[in-house]
Amino acid sequence: IDASVDYMDKHGMLDLGGDLHAQFPGRLIDAELPKLPRPEIGKILAASIFGKQTTFHPALEIPKQSQDLITIMRTIQKHIISNRLRVNEFFRDFDPLHTGKVTVSQFHRGLDALGISCTNKLFLSLPEIEAIMVQYRDPSDPMRVCWKTFEDDVDQVFTVKELEKCPCLDVISPPRAVSELPQKGGKVWQQVSSQTRDLCEEALMKVKHRTMKRAIMLKPLFGDYDTHNNGHVTRSQMRQCISSNGILLSGEELYALEERFNDDLGFNYFWFLREVEPKRHELPLFTGFISDMKKLNAPKPPKPVERNEKDIVMVLAKIKSKVVRERIRLLEFLRDFDRHNEEVMSRQDFKRAIDNCKLDLTEGEFETLFEVFGSIKRCDCVDYKRFENVVEEAFTQSCLDRAPLIMPIQHVPTNDCERNFLNFEERKTMCIALQKLAKKPEQEMNLMAVLEDFDRTKCGTVSQQQLLKTLAVRGMMNMISRSEFDIICKGFGFRRGLRDEVDYRAFIKALDILYATNKYLPF
């Protein structure tokens, strides 16, 4: 009986209660269907077919594949240049004889130290390290690795070896293949289907529109889940952050976002927030500082040369006036640049020596001196001895031993220039104004005492307002008009700094001379 029951149960003749089917054997279907081949089972994820995923388990993820050697080397180069590391610092201690070779275990330890030597770690799997060691293994000794060759290949991300042999070579650092290398575990976005890319762009626009309209800050929510502060969260945490803010996205749109921003560490929310919350692009302050410094240190454009700068007589008169007033010996400044006593010097040395004298010459005046006192025998040189003899004539006259009866005349410096030049009508008006002011002598008015009170530095000049106050205090301003006063200020003007002042000593002296030479009419 037991054998019969087992037979009927095995062949499907009994129902769940253990009884025979009501219409046995009419309802029994005995058919064996052939099995269809399903090669995608266990190799392709269902999420990649349906475009969405709701469960996240490590068993459902695609097994990680080892990278090829070129990608591994580019990953190491990107790690090196982003953290500014030197490869030889991790291998040279294992090579005391400087042979450029280390053992396999030492090379493995050096790569491990290279990966964990900074904040951004570089994790290399054992098959990847073995692929590198196979590539750089010593042909003569299989137990050693040529670390020096490995260093040269990695350092190509900075520059090219023996660049001095090809000075015209254009080096791009880092290479484009290294700078555009995708994050490990991430997908190349250009190779993703166009439908997924369009869904991702639509999802980004929805998130951006919702955050701008409602002023939602997503970064604090992501930061609560990011305990290690590495810019990554899990996929489920990303979905919680988006849904908790009332941003409704479909499963396909969420999966498209994960396809773009996912890598080995999880969802890169730093990159996601840069796309969703774009900020105004601001140049670093250092860039503006560099441009300002370049403008400051740039050579200034040459000023237009004035007529008096081309006149050698005016230039020498200016130099002689400066030398006589300040008692400057030019030879003491010029001889220091003539080490071999050749009586010539270069134009640059001549300008340095003149600048030390503080003669305040312009570039146009220097060019005039170069043309007149340029050396005949040497190009771009100045015959400074001849220049010094010409300037020395302001104190004495040369060759007096040949003409002992000549009376030398000392140079009298003058302040005449184009700014205080008066035409005929202005000179006539100035003479009339001075004649009016000279009717009251200095002994009575005592203008000098008031003007000296204004001249605190005792430089011999005062401003036009101070001269106006002095004449008004002494009651002499009523004797002349305002136009006559302006002409007097122009005639006795003196350029001091960036403003025009009045030489009050020459003004008082002119009044004294006019008072002494006027005709005395007793009746």
Please indicate, yes or no, whether residues 128 and 216 belong to a single structural domain of this protein.
Answer: no
Instruction: Output the pLDDT for position 27.
Output: 47
Is 403 part of any domain? no
Q: Give Cα separations from 367 to 10, 54, 118, 270, 296 (angstroms).
A: 119, 84, 60, 62, 25
CATH number at residue 258: 1.10.238
Instruction: Output the pLDDT for position 100.
Output: 92
Is 156 part of any domain? yes
What torsion do the CA atoms of 73, 78, 83, 86 make, to the nearest 10 degrees? 40
Please indicate, yes or no, whether residues 173 and 79 belong to a single structural domain of this protein.
Answer: yes
Please indicate, yes or no, whether residues 167 and 118 belong to a single structural domain of this protein.
Answer: yes
Is 55 part of any domain? no
Final residue belonging to a domain, choices 136, 158, 179: 179
Contacts (Cβ under 8 Å, ≥6 apart) of 74: 177, 178, 181
Please indicate, yes or no, whether residues 433 and 494 belong to a single structural domain of this protein.
Answer: yes
Please indicate, yes or no, whether residues 172 and 199 belong to a single structural domain of this protein.
Answer: no
Instruction: Output the pLDDT for position 165.
Output: 86
Q: How many domains does the chain fold into?
A: 5
Angle 47-69-145 (CA atoms, 0-180°, nearest 5)?
A: 145
Please indicate, yes or no, whether residues 128 and 173 belong to a single structural domain of this protein.
Answer: yes
Report the DSSP pairing between strands 144-145 and 102-103. antiparallel
Please indicate, yes or no, whether residues 173 and 203 belong to a single structural domain of this protein.
Answer: no
Please indicate, yes or no, whether residues 447 and 476 belong to a single structural domain of this protein.
Answer: yes
CATH number at residue 107: 1.10.238.10
Please indicate, yes or no, whether residues 312 and 387 belong to a single structural domain of this protein.
Answer: yes
Give yes or no for a cis peptide into 58 (omega within 30° of 0). no
Please indicate, yes or no, whether residues 164 and 83 belong to a single structural domain of this protein.
Answer: yes
401: left (phi over 0), alpha (psi -120 to 50) or beta: alpha
90, 152 Cβ separation under 8 angstroms: no
Is 288 part of any domain? no
Is 271 part of any domain? yes
Residue pLDDT tens, the chain, 523 long? 788 778 777 776 666 666 665 555 544 455 565 566 666 666 677 677 777 777 777 767 776 777 888 888 988 998 888 888 889 999 999 999 999 999 999 999 998 888 866 666 788 888 888 999 999 999 999 899 999 999 999 998 888 888 888 888 888 878 888 887 877 777 777 788 888 889 999 999 999 998 888 888 888 989 999 988 888 898 889 999 998 888 888 888 998 898 888 888 888 999 899 888 877 767 777 878 888 898 888 888 877 888 888 889 888 888 988 888 888 888 888 988 988 888 899 999 999 999 998 888 888 899 999 999 998 888 889 999 999 988 888 887 777 788 888 877 777 777 767 777 888 899 999 999 998 888 877 666 788 888 899 988 888 889 999 999 999 888 888 888 999 999 998 888 888 877 888 888 889 888 888 888 876 665 5
- Domain of residue 88 covers 69-179
Is 467 part of any domain? yes
Please indicate, yes or no, whether residues 368 and 315 belong to a single structural domain of this protein.
Answer: yes
Is 60 part of any domain? no
Please indicate, yes or no, whether residues 193 and 126 belong to a single structural domain of this protein.
Answer: no
Task: Say what the pTM is.
Answer: 0.45
Is 360 part of any domain? yes
Instruction: Output the pLDDT for position 26.
Output: 47
DSSP state of 280: P
Strand residue runs (E) in 173-224: none
